């Protein structure tokens, strides 16, 4: 979460709003912000920390663990029409990658703006594909696996 906080200005420039939601109470969030997050990121986390008491939101998104009473860590990219465009659910021992989040946001924005598609590993400036009947069976001619890295 602190990595997302550091990159929050860049995310906002991309038009992204960040919400952090957990089953912890707002009081736990306040203590976590004051005693932990503010020591990792100057000023603490600049986006809302929301409480999902009872796991209702987590249940809707399929991340609520009813036996443990917690929301499993997940990340969801939701477009302006409220469609889930991407999701990543991880167990706590492996952290998420905020740079991959930013890459995905840029890729989805590029797709919406151009109608092109972004192949594996795409970053701005790398080749894209224009879907259509002329591309079928010929992707290998215009896109090389090396472009994914």
Q: Is the dihedral of CA 110, 112, 115, 119 positive or negative?
A: positive
Mean pLDDT of 100-120: 96
* 92 pLDDT above the threshold of 90: no
Reference 16, options 86, 72, 70; nearest CA is: 86
In DSSP terms, 117 is beta-bridged to 129
> How far apart are alpha carbons 34 and 112 in whole angstroms?
39
Domain assignment present for 120: no
At 21, which CATH number? 3.40.30.10
Domain assignment present for 30: yes
pLDDT band at 91 (very low <50, low <70, confident <90, very high): confident
Domain assignment present for 107: no
Reference 78, options 18, 122, 121; nearest CA is: 18
Please report, rounded to a whole number, the percentage of residues in the chain having pLDDT higher than 70: 100
Which domain covers residue 77, as residue numbers? 2-96
DSSP state letter for 134: T
Across the chain, mean pLDDT equals: 95
* 45 pLDDT above the threshold of 90: yes
Reference 10, options 136, 105, 138; nearest CA is: 105
Report pLDDT digits (tens) over 60-73. Answer: 999 999 999 999 99
> How far apart are alpha carbons 149 and 135 in whole angstroms?
22
Q: Strands 49-51, 20-22: parallel, antiparallel or unpaired by DSSP?
A: parallel
pLDDT band at 42 (very low <50, low <70, confident <90, very high): very high
| Number of domains the chain contains | 1
Instruction: Decide: residue 32, CB within 10 A, 0-12 exposed, 13-18 middle, 19+ buried.
Output: middle
């Amino acid at each position: 979460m602190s990595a997302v906080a550091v990159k929050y200005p860049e995310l906002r420039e991309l038009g992204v709003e960040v919400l952090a939601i957990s089953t912890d109470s707002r009081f736990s969030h306040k203590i976590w912000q004051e005693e932990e997050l503010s020591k990792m990121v100057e000023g603490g986390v600049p986006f809302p920390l929301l409480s999902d008491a009872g796991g209702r939101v987590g249940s809707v998104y399929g991340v609520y663990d009813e036996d443990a009473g917690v929301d499993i860590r997940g990340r969801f990219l939701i477009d302006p029409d409220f469609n889930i465009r991407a999701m990543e659910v991880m167990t706590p021992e492996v952290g998420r990658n905020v740079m991959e989040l930013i890459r995905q946001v840029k890729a989805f924005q590029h797709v919406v703006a151009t109608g092109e598609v972004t192949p594996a590993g795409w970053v701005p400036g790398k080749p894209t594909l224009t879907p259509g009947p002329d591309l079928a069976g010929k992707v290998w001619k215009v896109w090389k696996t090396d472009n994914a890295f």
